């Protein structure tokens, strides 16, 4: 049951947050005092990424440049059409994202 938000700006910046709203809250109520299991659950059920993107003369997606992420390994990386494709139909955008060899994720974003 994923949830999240994607923001694309006219000056070609993006921000995306994806998370699982159904995971349990930290028992302590303090994110600085969680258990190892609570931290693992939080990390594996959420992702935040921001950066810039480029488009072609028709407004079609070309490449995404990650400036920062909650998963440090993504910082400074770029994703082009081999890893990420976007298709817009009306108020809906479908993303096909290759996150590892043989693992693909499909995200459907609805304009709100």
For the question of whether the overall pTM of this predicted structure is more than 0.85, the answer is yes
pLDDT digit string, tens, across residues 2-31: 899 999 999 999 999 999 999 999 999 999
pLDDT(1) > 90? no
Q: 67-89: per-residue pLDDT in tens? A: 999 999 999 999 999 999 999 99
> In which order are the strands placed within the sheet that holds 46-55?
3-8, 13-19, 46-55, 61-69, 78-79
Where do we find the tokens 């994703």?
79
Distance CA 30, CA 82 (A): 40
């Amino acid at each position: 049951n994923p949830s999240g938000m994607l923001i694309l700006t006219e000056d070609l910046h993006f921000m995306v947050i994806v998370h699982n709203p159904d995971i349990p809250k930290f028992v302590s109520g303090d994110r600085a005092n969680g258990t190892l299991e609570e931290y693992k659950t939080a990390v594996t059920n959420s992702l935040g990424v921001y950066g810039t993107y480029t488009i072609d003369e028709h407004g079609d997606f070309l490449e995404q440049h990650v400036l920062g992420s909650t998963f440090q390994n993504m910082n400074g990386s770029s994703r082009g059409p081999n890893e990420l494709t976007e298709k817009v139909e009306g108020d809906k955008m479908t993303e096909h994202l290759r996150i590892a060899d043989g693992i693909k994720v499909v995200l459907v974003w609805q304009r709100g």
